[in-house]
A and B are shown apart, each in its own frame.
Chain A
């Protein structure tokens, strides 16, 4: 290209550092701008592809079950076969209890396990346990149902909410262990050293300084694990089993939303089908809610 004799020619010349001197009037710059725009469009399309299933599910659930999602549905017990109306209140409460039991068992074990692994374990042990946890995370959830069935249900001679909670906690433990280990490892060593140098015992340093620094991440991990197991059906099939009345005790069969949805969905009654859709909507809303809390927590004021 020969320099053009127009008065603006000196401006168009590229400088030695490779940047065009004018503000975006060189052909190369324009080309790059087009590429940039193209990239934005492709990214947006990809985002739409990812988000649309979620929206579709939501719309579908709303149209199929929205009409059955009444105040009665949330406050009434299921009606006997043949009668219309009734709700899944016991299943909503049951699910909350099951997740609470599972968290009460799984969170302390998972968090302490993750912290101890990170703080005390040698690199070999750490790698071994991380690998084990990853394998456990990949175990199909129905296996945990069978394990708890043979360990607990057969021995107690009854299906129970406790057994259901235990089965769910087995799923939570490796999840929580991994997230805890990850966030605890991110705590800078400088805080541990500062604590130790003050003459604080190591266990206290870990509990009051390391874990305190990582607490937001730990809580996030626990909540995500809880959200994950809230929708589990398979491990509850032969542990919590389901129930058509209010659960009064942990050693009795307990209703759970996924179980109730399953039972209603495979029933021959159109009214129950609609209720199953409504139940699915409630379950999805619960999981959404937990994820929203996670978002708020992890967005909140960090260090």
Chain B
């Protein structure tokens, strides 16, 4: 399998977006994924193909297992005691739970952004962006400088911080901090970006900025976006998966799912009949 970025001139140009998830090459192929914490099953056999270089939204009521699902995609459950994971997850064809796969290298390919922005408090803006590269052993000055600007530009933050790269990352506003965290994840040049409710702690303006950023980023990255906010999924996601009580109920292009859901449960959720 290839480790390089998907070619921007690939099979799914942004202008004519495909609406059938089956016709787009998959970033993740997930088969019969089951997750249990101790004796408590949380995900009951999820099968799903997440298309490459699209935004895939994941919606569902609180506690239905969205975050749990997301964290299986970069093996973040590794450090949770008593967790059991069954089934298969393939990233561009490669089984990520294969014992030969180094989870460290996997996580450099699958970046993650969290609900609460969490820039490292002891580091400057620049150090925050570069920490992934630095601690991976990259010392080359010019390469680091290049990646710094690239990541900050991609995260639509460069113009706001270029004059104060050495200020502490925690000095930024909430929305800027979240974009800093996105830049930090982008600096290691992942192929996939997992985002767990990245806007839920932000005001509407900062939310709009991040959402437009997500739409821009899909040119280069496959994005999985967990959100509580249906409008956000509607505005941002190309495809949307609806989870309920640890099961995948429906996966469709966002437009279809929102206007013409096949499942009764989806319709009930969209019309506000679940939490």
Contacts and interface: CB of A to CB of B under 8 A. Distances in A.
Q: Say whether A and B bind each other.
A: yes
Interface of A: 122, 188, 190-191, 193-201, 204, 208-209, 212-213, 215, 303
Given A213-B121, A215-B122, A303-B121, A198 B131 contact: yes
A198 B120 contact: no
Interface residues of B, number: 28
Contacts of A188: 118
7 contacts: A188-B118, A191-B120, A196-B79, A198-B107, A200-B131, A208-B131, A303-B170
B34 interface: no
Contacts of B43: none
Contact of B135 (A122, A197, A208): A208
A213 B135 contact: no
Contacts of B118: 188, 190-191, 193-194
B105 A199 contact: yes
Nearest to A214: B122
Given A199-B104, A303-B170, 11 more contacts: A122-B81, A190-B114, A194-B120, A197-B112, A197-B114, A197-B185, A199-B107, A200-B104, A200-B132, A201-B135, A212-B120
A195 B76 CA distance: 11
A213 B122 contact: yes
A200 B170 contact: no
A198 B116 contact: no
Given A194-B114, A204-B135, A199 B122 contact: no
Contact of B76 (A122, A197, A204, A215): A197
B108 interface: yes
A199 B135 CA distance: 9
A191 B123 CA distance: 12
Interface centre among B109, B114, B135, B181 (most CB of A within 10 A): B135
B170 A198 contact: no
